A = this chain, B = another copy of it.
Amino acid sequence: MARPRFDKLDPARRKAILEVAAEEFAEHGFEGASYNRILERAGFSKGVAYYYFEGKEDLYATVLELTLEGLLGQVAEWTPPRDAEDFWSQLRRTYVTLLDFLMSDERSGRLLHGMSQARMNPKLQGAWLRFEAPLMGWLQRVLADGRKVAAVRTDVPEGLLLAAMMGMGQATDFWLLEQWERHGERGLRRGAEQAFSLFMDLAADRPRA
């Protein structure tokens, strides 16, 4: 994740390449982005590039990490819920905050959107692992809290529920984007409510036959 020297690089140049890279990766995704083009636009020679980064994947991971930090800074306030109701309302608020952030910062949205593709790209598994842990960790803690207050089901393995929720989140993300494009912000918010209700039905603890 960016060689240590990178911290000592002139801040202007540091910012320059991160900016250019963010733009390029946001627009074309990881595969589609051209490392050479990024370097050229940022005024980096090959030698310099590989002096500060291990390679394309490394630069990508660095950009993503910064983006994720920005996101988590907005979202992270989570307190142990009092009861099931409190749990779901906190989770809903978090979900909405997240959407607000993604709407307000299109580039970050695209980058994070691309990240979910990265998850399945064999070339990027190294990079993905660094994000999986904190992200999954957060969700895991939240779900654990939910279980404590009997808000989240316990009849199914944790890993399965986690995977299902992540997958659904990713897929509905696409769908929400469509709603946004077609019906504007109102459409997005309505869609988000509906998507969230799906999450609840999927994860909620409830009496079974």
**A contact residues vs B (CB 8 Å cutoff):** 28-29, 31-32, 116-117, 120-123, 155-157, 159-161, 163-164, 166-172, 174-175, 178, 191, 194-195, 197-198, 201-202
User: Could you say how many copies of this chain the assembly holds?
Assistant: 2
Query: In angstroms, how far is the closest chain B Cβ from the Cβ of A192?
Result: 10
Q: List 15 A-B contacts (CB under 8 A).
A: A28-B122, A31-B31, A31-B121, A156-B197, A159-B178, A160-B175, A160-B194, A164-B172, A164-B175, A164-B198, A167-B167, A167-B168, A168-B202, A201-B201, A202-B202
Chain B nearest Cβ from A35, distance in angstroms: 15
Give A198 to B153 CA distance when docked, in angstroms: 11
* 8 closest residue pairs by CB, A with B: A167-B171, A163-B175, A167-B167, A163-B171, A168-B168, A117-B120, A164-B168, A167-B168
A191 touches B160 (CB 8 A): yes
Please give me the residue from chain B that is nearest to A153 by CB atom. Answer: B201
Q: Given A166-B171, A168-B167, A170-B167, are A194 and B156 neighbors across the interface (CB < 8 Å)?
A: yes
Minimum CB distance partner of A194 in chain B: B156
Determine the distance from Cα of A192 to Cα of B189 in the docked complex, in whole angstroms: 33
Residues of B within 8 A of A166 (CB): 171
**Beta-carbon contact of A202 and B198 below 8 Å:** yes
C-alpha gap A166/B163 in the complex (Å): 13
Q: Are A172 and B160 in contact, CB atoms less than 8 angstroms apart? A: yes
Residues of B within 8 A of A170 (CB): 167, 171
- Judge whether A164 and B159 touch: CB under 8 Å: no
